[in-house]
Amino acid sequence: MPNERRPVPDFLYGTAWKEDRTPQLTELALRMGFRGIDTANQRRHYFEAGVGQGLAAAYAAGVVARSDLFLQTKFTYRPGQDHRLPYDPDASLSVQVAQSLASSLAHLGTDYVDSYVLHGPATGYGWSYADGEVWEAMCNERAAGRARFLGVSNVTLGHLEQMVAAHAGTPTFVQNRCFAHLKWDRPVRFFCQERNMLYQGFSLLTANVEVLQHPWLIDLAARTDATPAQVVFSFARAVGILPLTGTSAAEHMRQDLASRDLALSPEAVQTIESLAG
């Protein structure tokens, strides 16, 4: 787990689906106290250049410096993109990775990212030859100093097992949608813990409405003077999940960050782990 010099922040601010509001919301998130930013060079869902504009505004206002931040972006295969591609679709996958990261660095106004993530494997059926080529290209980017750490996203346990068997070295991060009814992605989380990989969880609120509305959790939130969302984020951290939030509301940003001060009992954590599963 990367903890030398600059530790990974304990909350990541997600920039998906914000379109024209991306610069303003990125700057606001930094002003509110977020130091980790998640984006992707996938114009279909993210406005990465807008993230860069938000960063530039925050730097200019003296809110943060580049060295205070953890910037994470992603390489997205052609099928996950629309027509606004950050690479030549006729180039080899390794060239596409190099072009996509060069474009990300230009968007973000930096010469390195803290984390570079494969947005998702090429197929749902296992770690493919294409994934291997992309991963090797990402390793080359890391070796060249343009990415400090690497990760993979939207993976199954099978993907991870095959990937680890096929390549020397493991990803530093795994970023997955975290469903409570799938035991909060327990098999993947445990695989990560055993190998010192850091699990990042997204859709912690939107994928788990049944948990947020569960009477037991609502009661726990009331007793701990917290919101149900804060309980979920605190729970996530307690079981080793680095949470993402993509809220557009300043008050939710404040509440989400404040969830770091909410300590749940081991019994409460255990109950939440099995609440929907």
Report which of 33, 62, 66 is spatially closest to residue 245, judged by C-alpha positions.
33
Site of tokens 């569960």: 214
Q: How far apart are CA 194 and CA 188, in angstroms?
A: 10
Please work out the total of residues on this chain that contact ligand NAP, with binding judged by CB under 6 A.
23
Binding of residue 38 to ligand NAP (CB under 6 A): yes
Site of tokens 């494997």: 121
Is the Cβ–Cβ distance between 203 and 237 less than 8 Å?
no
How near is the Cβ of 201 to ligand NAP at its closest, in Å?
A: 8
Q: 82 or 267, CB closer to ligand NAP?
A: 82
Q: 143 or 233, CB closer to ligand NAP?
A: 233
How near is the Cβ of 132 to ligand NAP at its closest, in Å?
A: 20
How near is the Cβ of 75 to ligand NAP at its closest, in Å?
A: 11
How near is the Cβ of 62 to ligand NAP at its closest, in Å?
A: 26
Number of Cβ within 10 Å of residue 209's Cβ equals 11
Q: How far apart are CA 175 and CA 200, in angstroms?
A: 4
Q: Which stretch binds ligand NAP (CB under 6 A): 9-17, 22-30, 62-70, 127-135?
A: 9-17
Binding of residue 100 to ligand NAP (CB under 6 A): no
Q: How far apart are CA 7 and CA 113, in angstroms?
A: 14
Q: How far apart are CA 99 and CA 268, in angstroms?
A: 47
Binding of residue 15 to ligand NAP (CB under 6 A): yes
Q: Would you give the binding string for ligand NAP spanning residues 218-247, x where CB under 6 A is met?
A: -----------x--------------xxxx
Binding of residue 154 to ligand NAP (CB under 6 A): yes
**Helix boundaries (H) for the chain:** 22-32, 48-60, 93-108, 129-143, 157-166, 186-194, 209-212, 215-223, 228-238, 250-258, 266-274
Instruction: Give the residue at shortest CB distance from ligand NAP.
Output: 14
**Residue of 116, 173, 202, 235 that binds ligand NAP (CB under 6 A):** 202
Element (H, E) at 174: strand 173-177
249: DSSP letter: -
Q: 79 or 266, CB closer to ligand NAP?
A: 79
Q: 72 or 162, CB closer to ligand NAP?
A: 72
How near is the Cβ of 175 to ligand NAP at its closest, in Å?
A: 5
CA 102 to chain centre: 20
Binding of residue 22 to ligand NAP (CB under 6 A): no
Which of positions 117-146 make contact with ligand NAP (CB under 6 A)?
Answer: 119
Report which of 130, 114, 37 is spatially closest to residue 80, judged by C-alpha positions.
130
How near is the Cβ of 103 to ligand NAP at its closest, in Å?
A: 18
**List of residues contacting ligand NAP (CB under 6 A):** 14-16, 38, 119, 153-154, 175, 202-206, 229, 244-249, 252, 255-256
